[in-house]
Amino acid sequence: MDYSDIAGDLTEVLLTEQQIHDKIEELARRIETDYAGRNILLVGVLKGAVMVMADLARALKMPLEMDWMAVSSYGSGTQSSGVVRILKDLDTDLHDRNVLIVEDIIDSGLTLSWLRANLESRGAESVEICALLRKPEAAKVHVDVKYEGFSIPNAFVVGYGLDFAEKYRNFRDIGVLAPHVYA
Q: Does 126 bind ligand IMP (CB under 6 A)?
A: no
Contact region for ligand IMP (CB under 6 A) — 4-12, 22-30, 54-62, 104-112? 104-112
Please report whether residue 110 would count as binding ligand IMP according to CB under 6 A.
yes
Among 35, 52, 102, 107, binds ligand IMP (CB under 6 A): 107
Residues within window 135-174 making contact with ligand IMP, judged by CB under 6 A: 156-158, 162
Q: Which of 107, 144, 163, 173 is catalytic?
A: 107
Neighbouring C-beta atoms of residue 99, cutoff 10 Å: 22
Do 7 and 36 form a contact (C-beta atoms < 8 A)? no
| 129 DSSP β-pair partners | 101
- Residue 107 annotated in active site: yes
Applying CB under 6 A, does 20 fall inside the site for ligand IMP? Answer: no
Amino acid sitting at position 45:
V
**Binding positions for ligand IMP, 74-103, rule CB under 6 A:** 80, 103
Does 111 interact with ligand IMP (rule: CB under 6 A)?
yes
> What is the spatial distance between Cα 77 and Cα 75, in angstroms, rounded to a whole number?
6
Beta strands 10-15 and 83-88 are: unpaired
Q: Is 130 in the site for ligand IMP (CB under 6 A)?
A: no
User: 151: Cβ–Cβ under 8 A, 6 or more apart, which residues?
Assistant: 133, 134, 135, 136
CA R_g for the chain: 16
By the criterion CB under 6 A, which residues form the site for ligand IMP?
Answer: 48, 73, 80, 103-112, 156-158, 162
Query: Which residues are designated catalytic?
Result: 107
